[in-house]
Structure 1
Amino acid sequence: MTDDELRAAFDQQAARYDAQWEAMAPIRAGLYLLVTGSFADLPDDARVLCVGAGTGAEVTHLAHRFPGWHVTAVEPSGPMLDVCRQRAEREGVASRCVFHEGYLDSLPASEPYHAATCFLVSQFILDRADRAAFFHGIAERLRPDGLLASADLASGANPADFDALLHAWLVLMAGPEVSPERMENARAAYARDVAVLPPAEVASIIVSGGFEPPVQVFQAGLLHAWCAKRAR
């Protein structure tokens, strides 16, 4: 997908996005638990960048867990960002948030951030060089000792396990009665639109983007997460 096509797809999903992913809530909670631990040593007044913030689940989670933090949400889909803003207002954390509609390269310059999150975003960048450049853009926004928490779909340490992981993932998303046709359509969409790579390759791309070798801190099904420090 092009950037415009991807943004349009998320525009259409914004109103129902959270309900659509409700079955994944336990996985999301586990991911946030591990990321919270990785960020625990940041200053009480840390500035955190959420790239591809979507409907704001990690924005409000971090703002609640660390009540002195200030969070900048970057999201190209206007409808998704509207949901993010409404969630932050409803949960009483909007005063500590900045909401930027657009991509990272259009975010106004500011003091460097202590940390950044990037969940289920870089997987949509199919070209390896472009994906590394995306991470480089995040690294440039961080302090010299800044941290990145990144999560994407990956194929598993053994590529031969991919079919089993994909089947379990799709059943979790769609329910046990998912039809063979829907399964095949999803498999084709993942192959066409998502760069589901082996974890070591994703880690290598993060390094190419200006980070130290990342530590994989989480896996649930196809979802893998890494934490990395900006390379000096």
Structure 2
Amino acid sequence: MTAAPESAQKFDASRAGEYERQSRIALAGYEACHELAACMLAAALGPGREARVLVAGAGGGAREVVTAAALEPNWRFTAVDPSAPMLALARARLEESGLDARTEVVPGTVADLPEADDFDAATLIGVLHHLPGDEAKRAILRDIARRLRPGAPLILAGNHQAYASQPLLLAAWGERWRQQGAGPDEVEAKRAKILQGADPPHSEQAVADLLRDGGFEAPLRFFSSLFWGAWIARRAG
């Protein structure tokens, strides 16, 4: 779930080690979002068909691959991530799940892949809000679009809305950490970190605009959790 090389620097070995637990607290409905992402792709592709799926930002536990592969045995995956520690964790989870034979793991970014429309579908989950500025966000979406067949579906998921613009959601996010055992100082540290450490699109319309500029049709949202949203959109053309 990591992003471009500059953004990937914050996903060092210490963060990779805590990532799997932390991500499930930060995103209420973590497992459901991944399961629904696989369901939406299957609905768009057609049930039971073979497919090549590009997983951009697959570092961490490679949850996109592990979840979708268990539900769709005819899919194969190319998992890309620029963070070596996060990619190492992904490799470990793929090997534990017996999915390494169905998954090509590529260190680097989507731009490092051959530019050909070889993929039937793609996912970009938990990445976009880590990329600073709209141009970096457009760039990764364009890079993905160039490698998808026309009409192929993309699952895009991540935080949207400026965090400080939604104080009640931000407070609820902090309460979730408290309810999971974090003390007051830890909650405040995490709240400060999210306010300073990410640049989410500022609205759902901003997400749609980025997708349009990146080469995709209008998105359909299928999941929401506090600041988090998940959409499906097809490559234009």
Q: How big is the shift at 1:98? A: 0.3
Q: 1:53 maps to what in 2?
A: 58
Gaps of 5+ in 1: none
> TM-score normalised to the size of structure 1?
0.88
> Does the Cα contact within 8 Å between 2:125 and 2:158 map onto a contact in 1?
yes
- The one-letter code matched in structure 2 to 1:7 is A
SS at match of 1:10: coil
> Does the Cα contact within 8 Å between 1:147 and 1:229 map onto a contact in 2?
yes
Inter-partner Cα distance in structure 1 for 2:140 and 2:79: 16
SS at match of 2:105: strand
Q: How big is the shift at 1:32? A: 1.9
1:42-121 correspondence runs (5 A): 42=45, 44-55=49-60, 56-109=62-115, 112-121=118-127
Which of the residues 175, 193, 211 maps onto 1:206? 211
Gaps of 5+ in 2: none
> TM-score normalised to the size of structure 2?
0.86
Change (3 A) 1:174 1:132: farther
Moved more, 8-17 or 169-178: 169-178
Q: 2:220 maps to what in 1?
A: 215
Q: 1:27 maps to what in 2?
A: 29
SS at match of 1:138: helix
Q: How big is the shift at 1:166? A: 1.4
Listed one character per residue, the Cα deviations across residues 7-59 of structure 1 (whole Å, up to 9, x for unaligned) are: 23212211221122343576112212321221124262100011001220111
Moved more, 177-186 or 138-147: 177-186
> Does the Cα contact within 8 Å between 1:165 and 1:222 map onto a contact in 2?
yes
Q: 1:11 maps to what in 2?
A: 12
Q: 1:145 maps to what in 2?
A: 151
Inter-partner Cα distance in structure 1 for 2:80 and 2:110: 7
